[in-house]
Amino acid sequence: MCGIIGVTGRSGVSRLLIDGLRSLEYRGYDSAGIAVQTEDGLTVLRRAGKLAELDAVVSELEPFGTVGIGHTRWATHGAPTERNAHPVVDGPERVAVIHNGIIENHEVLREELVATGVEFRSDTDTEILAHLVSRELAGGASLGQAVRTTAQRLEGSYAFAAISADHPGVLAVVRCQSPLILGVGDEASYLASDIPALLPHTKRVMSLDDGDVAVLTPGTITVTDVDGVEVERDVRTINWDPVQVQKGGYRHFMMKEIEEQPSAVSATIAQCLSEDAEHIRIPALDALGPRLETIKRITFVACGTSWHAGLAAKFYVENLCGIPVDVDYASEFRYRQMQAGPDHLIVPITQSGETLDTLTAVRQAKAAGSPIIAVVNVAESSADREADASVLTVAGPEIGVASTKAFTTQLVALYMLALDLASRRGALTREQLDERVQPLRRLRFAMEGALRHKEHVRRIAYHFSQARDFLFLGRGVNYPIALEGALKLKEISYIHAEGYPAGEMKHGPIALIDANMPVVVIATPGRVYDKVLANIQEVRSRDGQVIAVCAEGDERVRSQADHVLEVPVVDEDISGLVNVIPLQLLSYYIAERRGCDIDQPRNLAKSVTVE
Ligand code: M6R
Q: Which residues contact 260 (CB under 8 A, 6 or more apart)?
A: 395, 396, 405
Helix (H) or strand (E) holding 376: strand 373-376
Q: Ligand 1 centre and the CA of 439: distance in Å?
A: 28
Residue 611 lies in a domain: no
Q: How many CB atoms lie within 10 A of CB 371?
A: 24
Among protein residues, the one whose CA lies closest to atom 7 of ligand 1: 304
Residue 238 binned pLDDT confidence (cut-offs 50, 70, 90): confident
Q: Give Cα 246 distance to the centre of its chain.
A: 18
CA gap 554, 571 in Å, rounded: 16
Residue 517 lies in a domain: yes
Substitution site in 306, 384, 386, 411 for ligand 1 pocket (most atoms within 8 Å of beta carbon): 306
Helix (H) or strand (E) holding 132: helix 127-138
CA gap 447, 411 in Å, rounded: 13
* Identity at 445, one-letter amino acid code: F
Cis? peptide before 480, omega within 30° of 0: no
Substitution site in 178, 608, 609, 611 for ligand 1 pocket (most atoms within 8 Å of beta carbon): 608
pLDDT on residue 611: 73
Could you read off the pLDDT of 220-235 as tens digits, one per residue? 999 999 888 999 999 9
CA gap 85, 121 in Å, rounded: 11
Residues of the chain with pLDDT > 90, as a percent, come to: 84
Q: Residue 80 belongs to a domain with what CATH number?
A: 3.60.20.10
Domain-ending residue, one of 245, 270, 300: 245
Could you read off the pLDDT of 463-501 as tens digits, one per residue? 999 999 999 999 999 999 999 999 999 999 999 999 999
Substitution site in 403, 410, 597, 607 for ligand 1 pocket (most atoms within 8 Å of beta carbon): 403
pLDDT on residue 391: 97
pLDDT on residue 474: 97
Q: Ligand 1 centre and the CA of 325: distance in Å?
A: 21
CB-based contact 407:414 (threshold 8 Å)? no
456 and 427 within one domain: no
Residue 607 lies in a domain: no
DSSP state for residue 160 in the 8-state scheme: E
CA gap 248, 231 in Å, rounded: 40
CA gap 601, 495 in Å, rounded: 12
**SS3 of 281, please?**
coil
Residue 424 lies in a domain: yes
402 and 314 within one domain: yes
Q: How many domains does the chain have?
A: 3
Domain-ending residue, one of 417, 450, 483: 450
552 and 415 within one domain: no
264 and 178 within one domain: no
CA gap 454, 468 in Å, rounded: 23
**Stretch among 367-371, 513-517, 567-571 having the lowest mean pLDDT:** 513-517
Q: Residue 464 belongs to a domain with what CATH number?
A: 3.40.50.10490
459 and 327 within one domain: no
491 and 440 within one domain: no
Q: Ligand 1 centre and the CA of 400: distance in Å?
A: 11
Residues flanking ligand 1, CB < 6 Å:
303-306, 350-352, 355, 358, 401-403, 491, 604, 607-608
Residues constituting the chain: 611
Q: Ligand 1 centre and the CA of 345: distance in Å?
A: 22
Residue 28 binned pLDDT confidence (cut-offs 50, 70, 90): confident
Domain-ending residue, one of 214, 245, 276: 245
Q: Which atom of ligand 1 is nearest to the CA of 403?
A: 16
| DSSP, residue by residue, 80-121 | SSTTTPSSEE-TTS-EEEEEEEEETTHHHHHHHHHHTTPPP-
Average of pLDDT values for 335-340?
81
Q: Ligand 1 centre and the CA of 346: distance in Å?
A: 18
Could you read off the pLDDT of 403-415 as tens digits, one per residue? 999 999 999 999 9
CB-based contact 262:434 (threshold 8 Å)? no
Residue 125 lies in a domain: yes
384 and 344 within one domain: yes
Residue 110 lies in a domain: yes
CB-based contact 61:45 (threshold 8 Å)? yes
| C-alpha closest to that of 21 among 62, 49, 51 | 51
Among protein residues, the one whose CA lies closest to atom 8 of ligand 1: 304
165 and 49 within one domain: yes
Mean pLDDT taken over the chain: 94
Q: Give Cα 82 distance to the centre of its chain.
A: 27
193 and 80 within one domain: yes
pLDDT for 312 beyond 80: yes
* Identity at 506, one-letter amino acid code: K
Mean pLDDT highest for which of 427-431, 579-583, 605-609?
Answer: 579-583
Q: Which atom of ligand 1 is nearest to the CA of 302?
A: 4
Q: Which atom of ligand 1 is nearest to the CA of 355?
A: 4
Among protein residues, the one whose CA lies closest to atom 12 of ligand 1: 304
Could you read off the pLDDT of 58-112 as tens digits, one per residue? 999 999 999 999 999 988 888 889 999 999 999 889 999 999 988 999 999 999 9
202 and 99 within one domain: yes
Q: Which atom of ligand 1 is nearest to the CA of 404?
A: 16
Q: Give Cα 604 distance to the centre of its chain.
A: 11
CA gap 597, 263 in Å, rounded: 26
Q: Which atom of ligand 1 is nearest to the CA of 607?
A: 1
CA gap 302, 330 in Å, rounded: 5
Q: Ligand 1 centre and the CA of 606: distance in Å?
A: 7
Could you read off the pLDDT of 29-66 as tens digits, one per residue? 889 999 999 988 999 999 999 899 999 999 999 999 99
**Higher-pLDDT residue of 239, 173:** 173
pLDDT on residue 63: 93
**SS3 of 13, please?**
helix
pLDDT on residue 594: 97
Residue 247 binned pLDDT confidence (cut-offs 50, 70, 90): confident
Residue 333 binned pLDDT confidence (cut-offs 50, 70, 90): confident
Annotated catalytic sites, by residue? 2, 606
Q: Ligand 1 centre and the CA of 348: distance in Å?
A: 12
347 and 237 within one domain: no
Average of pLDDT values for 530-547?
94
275 and 145 within one domain: no
CA gap 246, 16 in Å, rounded: 16
Substitution site in 347, 351, 597, 606 for ligand 1 pocket (most atoms within 8 Å of beta carbon): 351
Helix (H) or strand (E) holding 181: strand 181-184
Helix (H) or strand (E) holding 309: helix 304-321
Could you read off the pLDDT of 415-458 as tens digits, one per residue? 999 999 999 999 999 999 999 999 999 999 999 999 999 999 99
CB-based contact 67:43 (threshold 8 Å)? no
Average of pLDDT values for 289-317?
95
pLDDT on residue 27: 82
Q: Where are the alpha helices (DSSP H) in 175-278?
A: 253-259, 261-271
DSSP state for residue 610 in the 8-state scheme: -
Residue 608 lies in a domain: no
Among protein residues, the one whose CA lies closest to atom 14 of ligand 1: 402
pLDDT for 243 beyond 80: no
Q: Give the range of the structural domain holding residue 414, as residue numbers without chain letter.
A: 253-450
CA gap 135, 434 in Å, rounded: 64
Distance between first and last Cα of the chain: 11
Residue 433 lies in a domain: yes
**pTM of the full structure:** 0.85
| C-alpha closest to that of 346 among 403, 382, 386, 316 | 386
Average of pLDDT values for 125-137?
95
pLDDT on residue 329: 95
Q: Which atom of ligand 1 is nearest to the CA of 305?
A: 10
CB-based contact 429:423 (threshold 8 Å)? yes
pLDDT on residue 285: 95
Q: Which residues contact 175 (CB under 8 A, 6 or more apart)?
A: 158, 159, 208, 209, 210, 211, 212, 214
Residue 6 binned pLDDT confidence (cut-offs 50, 70, 90): very high
pLDDT for 271 beyond 80: yes
DSSP state for residue 197 in the 8-state scheme: G
pLDDT on residue 46: 96
